[in-house]
Structure 1
Amino acid sequence: MTLLLNCYKEIGLVFGNIILLCQFHKYYGVDINLKVLHKTQKIVRYKHPDNNVYYGIVEGDEIIQLSSSFNEVINDELKFDGTKVKYTEVKILEPVIPSKIINFGWTYAAHAKETGGLENLNEPFLFLKPQSSIIPDQGEIILPPKELTNQVELEGEVALVIGKRGKNIKEEEALDYVFGCTIFNDVTARDLTQKDPQFTRGKGFDTFGPLGPCIVKGIDPTNLRIVTTLNGQVVQDGNTNQMTFSIPFLISWISKVMTLEPGDILATGSPSGSCPMKSGDTVEVEVEHIGKLCNYVK
């Protein structure tokens, strides 16, 4: 750790490429209610061995622990008490518990074609997933009984985490409402989505929404490579720059339908290569600049 002192009697605590700002007081010492000066690279939510849940900033193989809520994190109202923990010593949780998980379907033409969807949509195709679908990195995707579905497939996606409340957002201001990006696997019972008039049942099973492992700030969501592997074999390889609707347009469009709240997830759709999974499989969705979301099929 390095200390920096500026002319305003503010001290910068330097941890690698992260600078945390605190105030020096003549009589009271250092105020450790800190602000992040640098764009945070990776933020995780995790369960500490003391059984408390914290947010933290990933730096190498360690986590800079923040005794703060999600609202404090998105507003950079970070409280740092000097604690750091090893990444391998904690349980990584879902990075956020959203009020809603908004999904956009068929945003990649090739994926729409392979799944029998609409390739030339005039406006986005929309569906929601319940909170109960969310599982964290390293969590288990539980296959429903075969009498309910015989074809459960993976769909690796980039997901946006909303950072502030918004309604009727202008397209040119849309990215200002994004706190950061994470990874989502839109697990799908394909046989059900192909026969039901809407997607709720085929998309809504418990554990059908792997999310994580972190939220990354300061990256461009419109140009991110997505690579999904099944048991080590690449099955999806796409980029958000191939989407038929732009991400700013999607944010603006959905905000005219429903109010976006801090922590809401916007899953931006899957590139081509969706394929069935079976019990015993390992599925990994890797997005450049974010990391890898790994889950096990049971």
Structure 2
Amino acid sequence: MSERDLQKTEKQVGRCKSFDTYTPFGPFVYANVDVSDLSIELRQNGQLRQQARTSEMIYSVAQIVSFANQSMTLVPGDVILTGTPSGVGPIHAGDELKAVIDNWPPLRNSVANAPNTSPVEKTKTNGISVERI
């Protein structure tokens, strides 16, 4: 998930992807799996939006883990996010997202409106546009 309104004003995308509920995974995570050539699929309301294989990634999973391990200590249970295949698009309240990796049980998430749909609150003070985050 990405907060696109905030992403327009941020130089780095990390914060735009780090809000509560933006990183769904589970209900369990497989361990000791060869992840070098898994199929990945995302459907939005039953329509295929993304489909790829981990073997098609620009950097292999091993390269990504090695790079992360050069700057931080990795411990059992850590999750490394690798990005997303092409096909991203807007989601709306009421949408159902279904993610499938190989033949594993799917991850299903329903999209709901948040009380404040954007973490950026825009106001004007003395004619000056102010963003409170």
**Percent of aligned pairs with the same amino acid:** 36
Larger Rg: 1
Q: Give deviations 1:166-206, integer Å, cap 9, x for gaps.
A: xxxxxxxxxxxxxxxxxxxxx11123224311123311211
Task: Return the match for 2:50 from 233, 236, 239.
Answer: 236
Q: Which structure's residues are more often strand, by fraction? A: 1
Task: Return the match for 1:246 from 60, 63, 66.
Answer: 60
**Which one-letter code corresponds to 1:190 in the other structure?**
R
2:102 alignment partner in structure 1? 288
1:203 alignment partner in structure 2? 17
Contact preservation (8 Å) 1:212, 1:293: yes
Return the alpha-carbon distance in structure 2 between the equivalents of residues 275 and 201 of structure 1. Answer: 19
1:20 alignment partner in structure 2? none
| Superposition TM-score, scaled by structure 2 size | 0.78
SS of 1:286 mapped into structure 2 = strand
Gaps of 5+ in 2: 113-133
Gaps of 5+ in 1: 1-186
2:39 alignment partner in structure 1? 225
Return the alpha-carbon distance in structure 2 between the equivalents of residues 289 and 206 of structure 1. Answer: 28
Give the CA deviation at 1:218. 4.0
SS of 2:28 mapped into structure 1 = strand
Q: Give deviations 1:8-43, integer Å, cap 9, x for gaps.
A: xxxxxxxxxxxxxxxxxxxxxxxxxxxxxxxxxxxx
2:86 alignment partner in structure 1? 272
Return the alpha-carbon distance in structure 2 between the equivalents of residues 253 and 265 of structure 1. Answer: 14
Alignment of 1:133-212 (within 5 A): 187-212=1-26
Q: How many residues align?
A: 112
SS of 1:253 mapped into structure 2 = helix
Return the alpha-carbon distance in structure 2 between the equivalents of residues 193 and 222 of structure 1. Answer: 31
Return the alpha-carbon distance in structure 1 between the equivalents of residues 59 and 87 of structure 2. Answer: 19
SS of 1:256 mapped into structure 2 = helix
Give the CA deviation at 1:246. 1.0
Task: Return the match for 1:259 from 67, 73, 85.
Answer: 73
Runs of 4+ in structure 1 deviating by more than 3 angstroms, as ranges, are none
Alignment of 1:92-111 (within 5 A): none
**Which one-letter code corresponds to 1:297 in the other structure?**
V
Return the alpha-carbon distance in structure 1 between the equivalents of residues 40 and 4 of structure 2. Answer: 21
SS of 2:6 mapped into structure 1 = helix
Give the CA deviation at 1:223. 0.5
Aligned alpha-carbon RMSD (Å): 1.4
Give the CA deviation at 1:248. 0.8
Alignment of 1:15-164 (within 5 A): none
